[in-house]
Structure 1
């Protein structure tokens, strides 16, 4: 009896997610994005594919950190095959650096468009192309109407859209999630001189049908790992406690 009730609740939850636009792309049910504890915040415990995700940053430094986190997501999305389209006003990326995350630079097509209007139009059209693994676009201003058009496009094509917004003004959008990625001081092994692995403070500010949260992560050659509390800077511990 309990098993039947659990199955009914599970089916009801899946139906609700589908009606709200969180549809799983065919063949991606078991895809592991290797995000560890972050997965617990997602609906159905899985990073929403066929959706538009918004990444907000204020400074150029935060934008650089955000780009690294997105590259990690792309490395999983592109395992299914296909290429990524990266749209921006002016390319500031160093393509060979993507190999750090297991991405071949020639699998990413960069297109530079100076006008915001053109960026939004190009992203919408690109998201309709089923052969793409993902579309990344650097757009400062994204209103609700434009974001809704992007979300409708991915629900048809099953492509995942990632929007990077360097702005201090956050308005309401139709994006499934909103993230904020900032830098944390690295730590070398056993106090050795030099630079350690990149460390990020990852904040999930909004997630449809999920639970927002924050995590402190380190990226190394084996993927993400959560940073132990005793290794966090004092100001981060204070922020976590507040």
Structure 2
């Protein structure tokens, strides 16, 4: 059996164990990177559904990656709830969001500072079909709360992104996908823009995927074309080797 056939057989087995996925008529949220979208069982992030982005608190990589995903979502308001205490977490910068393809005028921001209150607000927002997407920062739902969020997202047809606080050992996840996003040294400067600072690069690791397999990629953001590009010579390599050659 070839590698592709073996991977597909394993996916089919995982789907059989997890049960059928209802056809809700919603298109997946694609990342625009064929190698990555093709790796995901639905051809992108399943929507409606809950997706987790793990990372470091002081590292704004998750914010940038979330902005890219939201920018690829159809026009519509985005509800963004911040469960950090005031002043906690990376700041949301309008120009930075624009750079990653997300118009800040689409955002409806909510700052609670209380994770429990934020989880309740997220559940209500996810159930509201008026939002193109919902983002929850600084919250770590219990399994029961995660299940409620998933049901709310399904009821509202919503894509819900969770950015939980950093933990050395994250708890088991009920999300459709769980990712880890980390900054890498920027790409080579002096491209078409002629700038000194190279384009942003992220190491994006798929830790868990319902009905699919883990994966690892290095992506670079093209802020002129507003798209993600796969860094082929660094993809699927150990981090130290990818960075230092």
With the shorter chain as reference, the TM-score category is 0.7 to 0.9
Match of 1:71 among 67, 73, 76: 67
Closer, same or farther in 2 for the Cα pair 1:87/1:178, shift >3 Å? same
- Look up the match of 2:5: none
TM-score normalized with structure 2 length? 0.79
Deviations 1:180-233, CA, capped at 9 Å, x for gaps: 01011112248x872100011000000000111000111012211111327999
Verify the 8 A CA contact 1:137 1:162 in the aligned structure 2: yes
SS in 2 for 1:154: helix
Match of 2:80 among 77, 86, 93: 86
RMSD: 3.1
Verify the 8 A CA contact 1:154 1:161 in the aligned structure 2: yes
TM-score normalized with structure 1 length? 0.80
- Look up the match of 1:205: 207
The structure that is helix-richer by fraction is 1
Closer, same or farther in 2 for the Cα pair 1:57/1:129, shift >3 Å? same
- Look up the match of 1:7: none
Verify the 8 A CA contact 1:24 1:50 in the aligned structure 2: no
Extract structure 1 runs of 4+ deviating beyond 6 A: 230-234
Mapping of residues 77-226 of structure 1, within 5 Å? 77=73, 79=74, 81-88=75-82, 89=84, 90=86, 92-168=91-167, 169-186=169-186, 187-189=188-190, 194-220=196-222, 221-222=224-225, 223-226=227-230
Unpaired segments ≥5 residues, structure 1 = 1-12
SS in 2 for 1:197: coil
Unpaired segments ≥5 residues, structure 2 = 1-11
